[in-house]
Amino acid sequence: MYDKLWLIPFFPLIGSIINGLLGKRFIKSEKAIGAIGTGAVFLSFLVTCRYFFQLLGDTEKVHQQVVASWMSVGKLQVDWGFLFDPLSALMLMVVCGVGSLIHLYSIGYMHGEEGFYRYFSYLNLFIFSMIMLVLGNNALVMFIGWEGVGLCSYLLIGYYFEKQSAGDAAKKAFVMNRVGDFGFLLGLFTIFWTLGSHGIWTVNFVDFSEHGHLLGVGSTVVTVATLCFFLGATGKSAQLPLYTWLPDAMEGPTPVSALIHAATMVTAGVYMIGRMNVLFAMSPTTMGVVAAVGAATAIFAASIGFAQNDIKRVLAYSTVSQLGFMFVAMGVGAFTAGIFHLMTHAFFKACLFLGSGSVIHAMHHALHHAHLDDDPQDMRNMGGLRKHMPVTWATFGISCLAIAGLPFFAGFFSKDEILWWAFASTRGSLVVWGIAAFAAGMTAFYMFRCLYMTFYGKQKTDPKAKDHVHESPWVITLPLVVLAGLATVGGFVGVPHAIDVVHIGNKLDAFLAPVFHHTQELYQIEAHGAASTEIMLMVFSVVVALIGIGIATTMYLKNPELPAKFTSTFSRLHRVVFNKWYVDEIYDAMFVNTTKQFGNFCWKFFDVKIVDGIVNGVGKVVNVLSAGLRHTQTGLFQNYALAMVLGTVVMVAIYILN
């Protein structure tokens, strides 16, 4: 019935191989390369749609397919298998659906790039790796995909490898993710060994759910293991303290930013916790840590977004902040709400990133024609672009309304579901709710600051370039329109019961129930409270968002001189926030520079003094010995004859004396 699941990862893999091996020498045509790359992901999306709708009408919601036996080591038997259930089905719809739109967009955005074939090969490989991460039925198959997206992020962030900053950003992402991966493996080893002591030698997710109770609710083992898994999630999903690689990932092409930040890699940590929800639910301590780190990340990253002028960096810190909301949901037991926000975030954040790319594309074109070297990503060089780019402006504005959480856009439903659970859940906290609610208001402020600085007010583009700013081609604007539509209506699949006056029902909650509800019932995780309380909290969050929007409107639309006055009055605070709280500098001082110094010490002490010393010492000894011995090799016959006579005399003398 689900015997063709292997086709979902197969198409992107084949697309990557074809473009990677044949694109440069044999295909060459950008249209053909783009069609192969985009078509491969779209075919995966079509197969996913078929099985997704088939699953909707299926009474059995969990399906496993073993493709091949992978490894057998001692008592460990691992199959290369797939798990198709409501959670993986929804994730595949997001990954393949949004991914195919980003591929289509890339055809126009990357036009003229020398490495066009290489870009699409990497992009297809990225989608393949994410599909394997989502579809794997055990932790080792997931880890293969987990490492695959890490590799592809390195390749794509460093796509412009001739730039020093791009190479550094790629290495930073790769190294920081390896720190998280170490935690993932430690958690997996702990679970495997502990379950093995009970005779359950497995890394299968279904087995984790069925036998996880053997670890002991609240036990040290389950707490340590889940904290290790969470360390992996903080690296992959850019949470404190391993978040600094994500803003630097802006060095890659803008569609890469949309793919990494919206639908794929950074959501992997959230998905992993959702997949292992039984293990996390068994440890209230770990869930408390997850919620606390998520809330801290949400407000910390939002504060940095206040002062950034690079349009992509604003969106990057926004991504870090929104991921914090998802972890808050996971930490308070609102697993469905976390996945819901993951989905809606994919819609509006992909639209925002692609919208920023459309702006950058237009600015770069205009500045190039005017022979100017101004930064096409600096919002201080923009302003008034809505007249020249109406489609980009409209879709960007819709996505800003969605991320701000205004009724009844997609972000409103998912964000308020998280806030409600943070407030009313048995695993919730008023402190976490308060921080998250405040961060939501901050989000509304900096996103509308971004909108106003880019599209409103006086056009600050150099006069030479103004006439060259125009709307992007349809291959760029079409994905924007589709994503903006999803950001508008996508939230109606999860209408809360408290405001469901037309009885739509929370379709998403019902769909994901087979994955999460048993865990919530078993460990008594639920949100208590009257419908009136939930509505009051919704109203409060909307008011907070409107206050944020109102402040942004006052400062950047009505009185555009206010930001300069504010920054001059609070220059020290602005400098600290503008420099991202100096976290990168602190990390450099504590870890990077000390590691370099330790490496230099090891090189000078061990390599130069010990290794080179031994080698050079042997050479010197040989040289000294050879200096004396070389006099015995004169090449003169009479010298050799004399030596033979003297030797004979010595031997005879020794014989006589004895």
Dihedral sign computed on CA atoms, order 63, 66, 71, 77: positive
Report DSSP letters for 395-419, one per residue. Answer: HHHHHHHHHHT-TTSHHHHHHHHHH
The neighbouring-strand residues paired with 424 are: none
User: pLDDT tens across 328-385, in order?
Assistant: 999 999 999 999 999 999 999 999 999 999 999 999 988 888 888 888 999 999 999 9
Predicted pLDDT of residue 74: 82
Give the end-to-end CA distance of the chain in Å, rounded to a whole number. 101
- What number of H helices and E strands is found in the chain? 28, 2
Sign of CA dihedral 308, 313, 314, 317: negative
Q: Are 443 and 352 in contact (CB under 8 A)?
A: no
User: pLDDT confidence of 262, banded at 50, 70, 90?
Assistant: confident
Q: Which helix (H) or strand (E) holds 70?
A: strand 63-73
DSSP state of 462: -
Alpha carbons 335 and 417: distance in angstroms, whole number:
11
> In one letter, which amino acid is 297?
T
| 631 pLDDT above the threshold of 80 | no
pLDDT in tens, 7-30: 999 999 999 999 999 999 899 899
The residues pairing with 64 across neighbouring beta strands, listed in sequence order, are 83
Structure tokens at 362: 């237009």
Yes or no: say if 223 and 285 are a contact pair by the CB < 8 Å rule: yes
Residue 548's closest CA among 327, 376, 305, 345? 305
Contact between residue 153 and residue 249 where contact means Cβ atoms under 8 Å apart:
yes
Crossing angle of helices 30-56 and 7-22, rounded to 10°: 170
Helices (H), 456-570: 463-466, 474-489, 507-522, 531-553, 562-569
Give the chain's length: 658
For residue 460, the 8-state DSSP code is -
Distance CA(54)–CA(63), nearest Å, equals: 12
Cα dist from 212 to 225, 280, 329, whole Å: 12, 10, 22
pLDDT for 596 beyond 90: no
Structure tokens at 425: 């859940």
pLDDT tens profile 194-246: 999 999 999 999 999 999 999 999 999 999 999 999 999 999 999 999 999 99
Of 236, 230, 294, which Cα lies nearest the Cα of 265?
236
Distance (Å, whole) CA 144 – CA 151: 10
Least confident of 43-52, 70-79, 196-205: 70-79
Q: Is pLDDT of 1 > 80? A: no
Return the pLDDT at 71. 87
